[in-house]
Chains A and B, each alone.
Chain A
Amino acid sequence: MAEIELRRIEKSYGETAVVKGVSLSIRDGEFLTLVGPSGCGKSTLLRIIAGLEAQDSGEVMVAGRCVDDKRPKERDVAMVFQSYALYPHLSVFDNVALPLRTRRLSFAQRLPFVGRAVPGRGGIEKVIRAEVEQAASMLDIAHLLHRKPGQLSGGQRQRVALGRAMVRHPAVFLMDEPLSNLDAKLRVQMRAEITALHRRLGVTFVYVTHDQAEAMTMSDRVAVMTAGELLQVGQPEQLYRDPQDLRVAEMIGSPKINVVSCDHWISLGASLPPGIDGNTTHLAFRPEAVGIAASGDRRLNGVVTSVENLGSDIFLNVALADGCGAVVVRTHPDISRSEPGRPVGLQIDPASLLQFDGAGMRLRQAEQVEAAA
């Protein structure tokens, strides 16, 4: 059992506030992803949970107990790093065995060379060997145990790092962009393997990434962070359909959500949808909420600038008139109006329009508030 509770965590480096009062509850056994642009403080927050960095104020609770005065090794957490951080001079076996050895062997038993002669070591080493081999076979690296990290591919190193993290059955897994050094294909494959590992181990995972696709595909819940603050925490589809903040809407989803300001909307001669909140300054809609129609009065009109055919879908980039921005439209391949240069009208589903005020906060129409409640 290891739920994690962060209470008003703050951290500054010199004058720069990096984490600004973050509170977050992570449930036991949950896969929670921290997502946000690079430099927003995700790694810092993760390192605070791990105990590698001390917060300036606030509390970290693991399994209901405050761990602020505990060292990293006493917190029952394991961490996987972006650079893998394997010990280059140790074999894969010794890398994976190290967390067990530091915990189970006495100081004398761990001494180089003479440690072997200390009584009791043999039995402990036998148990350690069995556990390392079990973890290795689970990760499919049993045949690599005698190699050095320098002789492994990126994907294999990542597995070794996972093995080193899971071998002592920690209550919490912390992962800091573990896939960003891998090539695209391997990254997709490892996503699936990490979620499978999570299901199998059933322990709490806190996963940091700047890649919204990883966050969306892997997580039970996603916490969106920018500039040291949490914007919204929720299930992936909730963040996608029902973002609280324009920045969340823009960060989640690929291609990005379309945003058109009300001023542009009006200057283009399109009629604003009925029942719109008076404070709305921006309207946003997903590429799949737009259809292509003939250009006409009272709707957004533009010109197709490029066509991206992905086979299953086609994305049309449409430039709005008078430099009022651009809109991405998702259509099906069998719809023919898709060559660049063609003037088109946009038919937007009014139910999927999202309204935001000048500060980027979401505004809801009366029936949406009811539905959300």
Chain B
Amino acid sequence: MKTPDQDRQRRVDAKASFAKRSGEHGVGWLAVSPALLLLVGLLFGPAAAVVLFSLTDWQLGSFTFHFIGVANFRALFTDPTFWKALTNTLVYAAIVVPGTVLLGLVVALLIEASPGLRGFYRAAHFLPVMSTMSAMAIVWGTMLHPTIGLVNRGLGAVGISGVNWLRDERTALLALALIGIWQGLGFAMVLFVSGLKAVPQQLYDAAAIDGADGVLDRLRFVTLPMLGPVTMFVVILTAKRSFEVFDSVRVLTQGGPNYASEVLLHRLYTESFDFLRMGYGAALTVIYLAIIVLLTLTQARLLERRVHYS
């Protein structure tokens, strides 16, 4: 049986704790406000603006625009070049992501196994990461030149006649993907090497005693599982970078020939700044952002569950 006194006391307590809690909330909001402002100003604000633009017929340089509803999106989805760009981007990612991860892992394992490769390791680390892609793309452009390029000369030396890599519909996207792999390889490898250094020696010892001491068994029971978190990181990073591919396309192929190497970001750029159709470009951006967000969420979900072992 509660007395009125106890009841009153409880109400007072509740009030006090509410005041205390809301006070704490105030401090909390104050503490996160700088980050929140930056987030809104630099991320959510522009994203909202893009969504808004995508509903208009605004052209770059013009002072008026009209809201035209989802007409931009309708146009987009019926535009075969959009679908071509989307497919190409997916194909590009489907080559670059596994290529970078596998090659990066293999090179890292080789380096771990033989200290003599350290010099190569340093060069491979710094060259692509430190130089801008547009500059390196020009180098690649020369290398892939049909007559004077190093690649075709090398192929010619062993009796294979090369193609015009960047001008051939069959090879343009592949060539760009190989350049993409080359570009991401160094960083992936550095991450894998550092991941390998963190594998505890005692696990290799346990595997040796348990009879799992062959190269393949060590890979299967120790190395690869322990590299899980690093691999997840590399996959996400490379996937994001493949969806963002732009500079090599812009410099080397401009999406051609005949849209064979057209990708999302390049399409976006062309529509917005070559053809000045900002509304249409914004609609493309919305699609692009949606894909990136979806990609990030699913990858994180899927992979996180598999690699953290708990």
Q: How far is the CA of A194 from the CA of B36 in the complex (A)?
A: 56
Residues of chain B within 8 A of A98, CB atoms compared: 210-212, 221
Q: Find the residue from A81, A87, A112, A150 having the highest chain B CB count within 10 A.
A: A87
Question: Is the CB–CB distance between B206 and A81 below 8 Å?
Answer: yes
Contact with B along A147-183 (1 / 0, CB 8 A): 0111100000000000010000000000000000000
A47 interface contact, C-beta 8 A:
yes
Task: Scan residues 285-320 of chain A and give those whose CB is less than 8 A from a CB of chain B.
Answer: none
Residues of chain A within 8 A of B205, CB atoms compared: 47, 50, 52, 72, 79, 81, 85
- In the complex, what's the smallest C-beta–C-beta distance from B230 to chain A, in angstroms? 14
- In the complex, what's the smallest C-beta–C-beta distance from A124 to chain B, in angstroms? 15
Q: How far is the CA of A50 from the CA of B213 in the complex (A)?
A: 14
- In the complex, what's the smallest C-beta–C-beta distance from A107 to chain B, in angstroms? 9
B228 interface contact, C-beta 8 A:
yes
Question: Is the CB–CB distance between B310 and A148 below 8 Å?
Answer: yes
B141 interface contact, C-beta 8 A:
no
Nearest A residue to B212 via CB reads: A102
Nearest A residue to B216 via CB reads: A107
Given contacts A82-B202, A89-B309, contact A72 B217 (CB under 8 A): no
Q: How far is the CA of A82 from the CA of B203 in the complex (A)?
A: 11
Given contacts A71-B213, A73-B213, A151-B310, contact A88 B206 (CB under 8 A): no
Q: How far is the CA of A85 from the CA of B202 in the complex (A)?
A: 6
Question: Is the CB–CB distance between A150 and B203 below 8 Å?
Answer: no
A78 interface contact, C-beta 8 A:
yes
Nearest B residue to A148 via CB reads: B309
Question: Is the CB–CB distance between A72 and B222 below 8 Å?
Answer: no
- In the complex, what's the smallest C-beta–C-beta distance from B198 to chain A, in angstroms? 13
Interface residue tally on A, bucketed by range: 20 to 34
Checking A73, A79, A150 against B309 with a beta-carbon cut-off of 8 angstroms, the contacting residue is: A150
Nearest A residue to B308 via CB reads: A150
Residues of chain A within 8 A of B146, CB atoms compared: none
A200 interface contact, C-beta 8 A:
no
A-B contacts counted at CB < 8 A amount to: 69
- In the complex, what's the smallest C-beta–C-beta distance from B146 to chain A, in angstroms? 45
Residues of chain B within 8 A of A50, CB atoms compared: 205, 209
Contact with A along B210-228 (1 / 0, CB 8 A): 1111000100111001101
A143 interface contact, C-beta 8 A:
no
Residues of chain B within 8 A of A164, CB atoms compared: 206, 210
Given contacts A71-B213, A151-B310, contact A85 B200 (CB under 8 A): yes
Question: Is the CB–CB distance between B310 and A73 below 8 Å?
Answer: no
B208 interface contact, C-beta 8 A:
yes
Q: How far is the CA of A79 from the CA of B207 in the complex (A)?
A: 10
Given contacts A102-B217, A112-B220, contact A73 B225 (CB under 8 A): no
Task: Scan residues 80-102 of chain A and give those whose CB is less than 8 A from a CB of chain B.
Answer: 81-83, 85-90, 98-99, 102
Question: Is the CB–CB distance between A87 and B310 below 8 Å?
Answer: no
A225 interface contact, C-beta 8 A:
no
Q: How far is the CA of A259 from the CA of B28 in the complex (A)?
A: 60
Checking A72, A150, A151 against B213 with a beta-carbon cut-off of 8 angstroms, the contacting residue is: A72
Q: How far is the CA of A85 from the CA of B200 in the complex (A)?
A: 8
A103 interface contact, C-beta 8 A:
yes
Contact with A along B248-287 (1 / 0, CB 8 A): 0000000000000000000000000000000000000000
Q: Find the residue from A73, A89, A148 having the highest chain B CB count within 10 A.
A: A89
A257 interface contact, C-beta 8 A:
no
Question: Is the CB–CB distance between B211 and A102 below 8 Å?
Answer: yes
- In the complex, what's the smallest C-beta–C-beta distance from B305 to chain A, in angstroms? 12
A77 interface contact, C-beta 8 A:
yes
Q: How far is the CA of A149 from the CA of B202 in the complex (A)?
A: 15
- In the complex, what's the smallest C-beta–C-beta distance from B183 to chain A, in angstroms? 31
Residues of chain A within 8 A of B222, CB atoms compared: 87
Question: Is the CB–CB distance between A99 and B213 below 8 Å?
Answer: no
Q: How far is the CA of A24 from the CA of B212 in the complex (A)?
A: 30
Question: Is the CB–CB distance between A73 and B210 below 8 Å?
Answer: yes
Nearest B residue to A176 via CB reads: B202
Q: How far is the CA of A98 from the CA of B210 in the complex (A)?
A: 7
Task: Scan residues 32-62 of chain A and give those whose CB is less than 8 A from a CB of chain B.
Answer: 47, 50-52
Q: How far is the CA of A284 from the CA of B130 in the complex (A)?
A: 67
Task: Scan residues 94-153 of chain A and give those whose CB is less than 8 A from a CB of chain B.
Answer: 98-99, 102-103, 112, 148-151
Q: How far is the CA of A278 from the CA of B306 in the complex (A)?
A: 72
Residues of chain B within 8 A of A86, CB atoms compared: 206
Given contacts A87-B222, A148-B309, contact A103 B203 (CB under 8 A): no
- In the complex, what's the smallest C-beta–C-beta distance from B216 to chain A, in angstroms? 9
Question: Is the CB–CB distance between B211 and A85 below 8 Å?
Answer: no
Q: How far is the CA of A369 from the CA of B228 in the complex (A)?
A: 63
Please list the residues of chain A having a beta carbon within 8 angstroms of any beta carbon in chain B. 47, 50-52, 71-73, 77-79, 81-83, 85-90, 98-99, 102-103, 112, 148-151, 164
A87-B222, A88-B309, A89-B309 known; 13 new pairs, CB 8 Å cut-off, are A50-B205, A71-B208, A73-B208, A78-B209, A81-B206, A83-B200, A85-B202, A85-B206, A87-B221, A89-B228, A103-B211, A149-B309, A164-B210
22 A-B residue pairings within 8 Å (CB atoms): A47-B205, A50-B205, A51-B208, A52-B208, A71-B213, A73-B210, A73-B213, A77-B209, A79-B206, A81-B202, A83-B200, A85-B202, A85-B203, A87-B225, A88-B309, A98-B211, A98-B221, A102-B212, A103-B211, A112-B220, A149-B309, A151-B310
